[in-house]
Amino acid sequence: MVQYSNYNKPNKLLFVIPFVLFMLGCSCTPTSIPEEVEGIKPLWSTKLPGKAGVYNRGIIGFALFDGKAHFHSTYFTGIINDVFEEDNRIHALDIETGKIQWTYPTSYNKSKPMFFGGVPYQYNEYVVTKMWKQGSIKTDKLVGINFQTGKEIWFNEIPITYSNICSTDVVGEEESFYLFEQTRKNAILCKGNIYTGETDAVLVVEPEQGYNYTNITSNVVFQKEKSQIIAGAWERDTTNRDTYAYQNFLYIIDAKNNFILNKIHSDFFDKKMLIAYISCHGDKVYAACGLTTICYNLNTLTVNWTYKSTESYNYMTNQIVVNDGIVLLYGDNRYVGLDAHTGEKLYQGDIQCAKVNAFNGYAYIIGRDEYLYILDIKTGRKTHKITCPDKLKSGDGFHIACTPQVYGDKLFVFGYYHAYCYDAVPKEE
């Protein structure tokens, strides 16, 4: 079983969508690597199919499976006869050569368009991912895929009344998966079977007194040892015009018995922002909200420590990765390293961070300048700055929607049209 913590919330960045339908006609084979690449060079580079590029999510959180890494690309996107249409597909690439082994779906179906982007759940070869409504598509979707064959096993449409803005993360344990749906008033936890796709609403999250609305604001994580689902949320009074007539909560949900164990409201949470991201490691939950980050202990039911930035909101670091005893906070203009046990600030840097991930003592940062930076996560020292090979040809760098992924000794990233594989362990220059 593979379980993910946050790989990617649906990106809130705005992208300009062209109104021209591009025709497919590109090579899908690995391409040669230019010599003038700053830092380490990729092991392989593969041109992903499609003319609209990888403008939204690219690699979508799927684990390495059966010797393949998984990316996605957009064949076309645009307004066609006053209807928004888009063709997204998943590609399985051989991790040694970069050659495409299979693509899902194999063809475009106008009545069943794909908008990949959520964090999926995988159990053995079975994968389930949630797609949110987009453009003229008015409902969220769930799709189950067999990653051994690259074939769809089931496809479900979520009713429009439950397809309001909500998390697209799917978590689970063995054959059971969980996701949140959203009505106009309530977040609803649903439980499904990964083999059949059948789902049932198992918990309607009711607001506390004085509020009439509940909604998930962060990613969703699953604490395996305790069988708990954890998410950041807000509750508000929709009849109150006050912008800040709401409270932030961490929801701790008993997944086996389908009830809320605890709603954690802390005065330490930034009252002007929502909980943007959480990360769970063992019995510790790290939650970032505006200028504030807390460490909550699931055993003692107390806040172990709080970090409060004194900088302006322009330097807000409300995204989190945790590795090797370090909590790395990051945002558009700053990254900060904290001791995971004490919350003590150890270092900070001024890379403009778009997406970050951390593995085996290294942090991998896609900067808003479209370079890939590699840091020693213990010290914050930059070990590499890597130029995307596309930059030498088209001027395009690594895509700022790309969350780097490491599996074994390999690092996977993408640009606007290419997937790349690097050595994960940096070599000294």
In sequence order, the 6+-apart residues with CB closer than 8 A to the CB of 315 are: 309, 331, 333, 334
**Burial bucket for residue 22 (CB in 10 Å: 0-12, 13-18, 19+):** middle
d(CA 361, CA 345) in angstroms, rounded, equals 17
Cis ω before 426 (30° cut-off from 0): no
Q: Would you give the distance in Å from CA 391 to the centre of its chain?
A: 25
Query: What is the tens place of the pLDDT at every residue in 84-123?
Result: 788 889 999 999 999 999 999 999 998 888 888 778 999 9
What does 347-367 look like in DSSP terms, one character per residue? EEE---EEEEEEETTEEEEEE
Phi, psi of 10 (to 5 degrees): -60, 130
**Burial bucket for residue 174 (CB in 10 Å: 0-12, 13-18, 19+):** exposed
Tokens of 362: 């290294």
d(CA 81, CA 317) in angstroms, rounded, equals 42
| Among the listed residues 10, 310, 314, the one whose alpha carbon sits nearest the alpha carbon of residue 133 | 10
- CA angle, corner 414, sides to 411 and 420, nearest 5? 50
The structure's pTM equals: 0.87
Q: What is the mean pLDDT of each run of 10 residues along the chain (429 residues)?
A: 38 34 40 54 92 64 85 86 84 95 93 84 94 80 95 95 91 97 96 98 96 95 97 94 88 96 86 92 95 95 94 92 97 96 96 95 96 96 92 88 91 92 77
**Longest C-alpha distance within the chain, in Å?**
63
d(CA 25, CA 47) in angstroms, rounded, equals 11
> In Å, how far are 77, 110, 181, 249, 308 from 276, measured between CA atoms?
29, 34, 18, 11, 15
| Among the listed residues 287, 286, 292, 251, the one whose alpha carbon sits nearest the alpha carbon of residue 272 | 292
d(CA 215, CA 277) in angstroms, rounded, equals 14
User: Looking at the DSSP assignment, which residues form a beta bridge with residue 189?
Assistant: 180, 203
Residue 216 near residue 225 (C-beta atoms within 8 A): no
Q: Strands across the sheet with 228-236, in order?
A: 213-223, 228-236, 246-254, 259-264
